[in-house]
């Protein structure tokens, strides 16, 4: 990123946020809220109107009643993940995470003093962890399994049957699942199934965000949904850390959730079109990439270049002025991979991919 920042004409394929603006009606709602005096602390778990709207929405998704008291509005999904992990995990507890996987999980566990237990997923299982893999690493100290579907960085989407199996495994070892679903609206080929659908006894804490769904990364609003027993602990963890989420941003989130969903559909279609344009280019050039079922990333195999991910990413910036994320940022097993983002202007994306192919072949 330092190299990319110093190069104004660099094509930025490493960025992990939508290249769309926040919709005007969402911005207006924040503006109006601030003018109306909604500028004070709110309840630790968020304003009632937003929690009620979220509860209704989640209830529809999970096919069961969700109460507003089960919802905690947080500083983005990052805040939801951190507060949920602090609430559930003690120092020394074990938390199962996946490689490749989003690095912030491991960073948060390090801050908490918990032990990440890393399970490597492979293309053979579509980058979806299997119950057998989990059984092989579970111990009496296993407290949480972190699941992320659609996944950053692979875009793998866990289907209904396999998600049911993972929740059942978590139940069998008396642990919790923290299910990071921030890309739930960016699913291309099938309908999305939340882990909450399979939760019969309050073991799933689901994590959601307005960042990717509504192009609101900078507003910092997300939320956790947990059982009536667990949610109050998550709420309490917000008092010493953030107090509450920025009040006008909560009104913006309410407008996002209750307003037109056209932009969400538009972004989903745009990412799918970009995937379907770029994947064939890579395939035709003999540069393999994992076909993502969701999110907005491509996990590209650059091992044909004969270089490691770090060497390749550095050469790509210096020789071709294209920035990507080295695979090992997502776990040590990924020296032959880089991640590129589909949330990029299509012209820049196609040109960046063309240059990436040139660099693999050089």
3-state secondary structure of 9: coil
What would the x/- binding string for ligand PLP be over residues 4 to 43, using CB under 6 A? ------------x---------------------------
- Report H helices in 285-341: 309-320
Instruction: Identify whether the C-beta of residue 244 lies closer than 8 Å to the C-beta of residue 215.
Output: no
> Which residue lies nearer to ligand PLP by CB, 211 or 344?
211
> Which residue lies nearer to ligand PLP by CB, 188 or 320?
188
Helix (H), strand (E) counts: the chain? 12, 13
Total of residues contacting ligand PLP (CB under 6 A): 13
Q: Binding segment for ligand PLP among 74-82, 122-130, 298-306, 321-329 (CB under 6 A)?
A: 74-82
CA distance 158 to 195: 9
Q: Binding segment for ligand PLP among 40-48, 72-80, 122-130, 343-351 (CB under 6 A)?
A: 72-80
Q: Binding segment for ligand PLP among 5-13, 36-44, 209-217, 342-350 (CB under 6 A)?
A: 209-217
CA distance 77 to 14: 20
CA distance 157 to 151: 7
> Which residue lies nearer to ligand PLP by CB, 16 or 333?
16
Q: Residue 127, exposed/middle/buried by CB under 10 A (0-12, 13-18, 19+)?
A: buried
Q: Per the omega criterion (within 30 degrees of 0), is the bond before 100 cis?
A: yes
Which of 73, 77, 329, 360 touches ligand PLP (CB under 6 A)? 77
- Report H helices in the chain: 2-5, 24-35, 48-62, 76-88, 104-112, 131-137, 160-172, 231-241, 247-258, 262-284, 309-320, 346-361
CB of 319 to ligand PLP, least distance (A): 28
What would the x/- binding string for ligand PLP be over residues 216 to 235, using CB under 6 A? -x----x-------------
> Which residue lies nearer to ligand PLP by CB, 45 or 320?
45
Beta-bridge partners for 301: 337
Residue whose Cβ sits closest to ligand PLP: 76
At a CB cut-off of 8 Å and minimum separation 6, what does 36 contact? none
What would the x/- binding string for ligand PLP be over residues 94 to 123, using CB under 6 A? --------x---------------------
Instruction: Identify whether the C-beta of residue 118 lies closer than 8 Å to the C-beta of residue 331.
Output: yes
Q: Is 182 in the site for ligand PLP (CB under 6 A)?
A: yes
Q: Is 206 in the site for ligand PLP (CB under 6 A)?
A: no
Which of 209, 305, 334, 344 touches ligand PLP (CB under 6 A)? 209
The DSSP 8-state label assigned to residue 69 in this structure reads G
Q: Is 148 in the site for ligand PLP (CB under 6 A)?
A: yes
Beta-bridge partners for 198: none
CB of 151 to ligand PLP, least distance (A): 7
Binding site for ligand PLP (CB under 6 A): 16, 76-78, 102, 148, 152, 180, 182, 209, 211, 217, 222
């Amino acid at each position: 990123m330092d190299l990319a920042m110093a190069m104004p004409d660099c094509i930025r394929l490493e960025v992990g946020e939508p290249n769309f603006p926040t919709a005007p009606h969402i911005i207006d709602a924040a503006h109006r809220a601030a003018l109306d005096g909604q500028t004070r602390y709110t309840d630790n778990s968020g304003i009632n109107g937003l929690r009620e709207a979220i509860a209704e929405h989640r209830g529809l998704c999970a096919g069961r009643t969700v109460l507003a008291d089960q919802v905690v509005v947080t500083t983005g999904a990052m805040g939801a993940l951190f507060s949920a992990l602090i609430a559930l995990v003690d120092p020394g507890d074990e938390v199962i995470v996946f490689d490749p996987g989003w690095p912030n999980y491991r960073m948060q566990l390090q801050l908490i003093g918990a032990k990440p237990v890393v399970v490597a997923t492979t293309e053979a299982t579509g980058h979806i962890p299997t119950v057998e893999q989990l059984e092989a690493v579970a111990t009496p100290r296993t407290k949480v399994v972190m699941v992320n579907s659609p996944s950053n960085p692979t875009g793998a989407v866990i289907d209904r049957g396999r998600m049911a199996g993972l929740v059942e495994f978590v139940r069998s070892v008396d642990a919790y699942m923290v299910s990071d679903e921030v890309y739930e609206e960016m699913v291309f080929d099938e309908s999305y199934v939340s882990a909450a659908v399979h939760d019969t006894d309050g073991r799933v804490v689901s994590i959601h965000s307005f960042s990717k769904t509504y192009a609101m990364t900078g507003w910092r609003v997300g939320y956790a949904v947990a059982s009536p027993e667990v949610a109050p602990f998550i709420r309490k963890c917000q008092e010493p850390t953030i107090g509450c989420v920025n009040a006008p941003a909560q009104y913006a989130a309410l407008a996002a959730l209750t307003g037109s969903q056209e932009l969400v559909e538009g972004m989903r279609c745009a990412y799918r079109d970009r995937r379907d344009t770029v994947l064939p280019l890579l395939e035709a050039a003999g540069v393999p990439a994992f076909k993502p079922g969701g999110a907005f990333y491509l996990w590209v195999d650059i091992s044909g270049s004969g270089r490691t991910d770090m060497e390749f990413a550095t050469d790509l910036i210096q020789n071709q002025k294209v920035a990507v994320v080295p695979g090992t940022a997502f776990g040590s097993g990924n020296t032959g991979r880089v991640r590129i983002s589909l949330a990029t202007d299509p012209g820049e994306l196609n040109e960046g991919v063309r240059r990436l192919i040139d660099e693999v072949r050089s």
